């Protein structure tokens, strides 16, 4: 999947158009359509990643991990769990929390 296709899908998930995204980022019209044939510069890639709260690796198709902040939060929680095994209930609660955050971001 190309960077353009990934960005297009992210826009669809947010129910915005590519043109809306370009306007929000201060880009001229059709800037993002160039992603079909060109690799974006680091500054544009970072701005798009920040807008959608995803990693640049995700935008480039190098990672399937979309929600970077959720994963970082989970790692932080895990680090403070003192090495104990997670109970089934705790793991289910984490999954519910992750889904809640995803839903809030997509509104």
User: Do 31 and 76 have their domain in common?
Assistant: no
* Structural domains of the chain, count: 2
Between CA 98 and CA 41 the distance in angstroms is 31
The boundaries of the domain holding residue 77 are 68-105
What percentage of the chain carries pLDDT values higher than 70?
Answer: 78
In sequence order, what are the residues at sequence separation of 6 or more whose Cβ sits closer than 8 angstroms to the Cβ of residue 46? 56
44: domain CATH number is 1.10.260
Residues 22 and 15 sit within 8 Å (Cβ to Cβ): no
Residues 72 and 55 sit within 8 Å (Cβ to Cβ): no
Between CA 82 and CA 79 the distance in angstroms is 7
User: Do 18 and 48 have their domain in common?
Assistant: yes
User: Do 11 and 55 have their domain in common?
Assistant: yes
Q: What is the pTM of this model?
A: 0.63
Model confidence pLDDT, tens digit, residues 57-107: 889 888 776 766 655 656 666 666 666 777 788 778 877 887 777 776 655
């Amino acid at each position: 999947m190309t960077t353009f296709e990934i960005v297009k899908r992210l826009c669809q998930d947010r129910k915005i158009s590519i043109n809306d995204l370009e306007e929000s980022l201060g880009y001229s019209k059709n800037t993002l359509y160039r992603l079909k044939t060109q690799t974006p510069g680091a500054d544009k890639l970072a701005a798009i990643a920040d807008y959608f709260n995803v990693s640049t690796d995700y935008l480039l198709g190098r990672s399937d991990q979309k929600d970077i902040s959720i994963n970082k939060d989970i790692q932080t929680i895990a680090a403070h769990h003192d090495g104990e095994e997670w109970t089934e209930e705790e793991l289910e609660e984490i999954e519910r929390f992750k889904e809640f955050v995803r839903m809030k971001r997509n509104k």
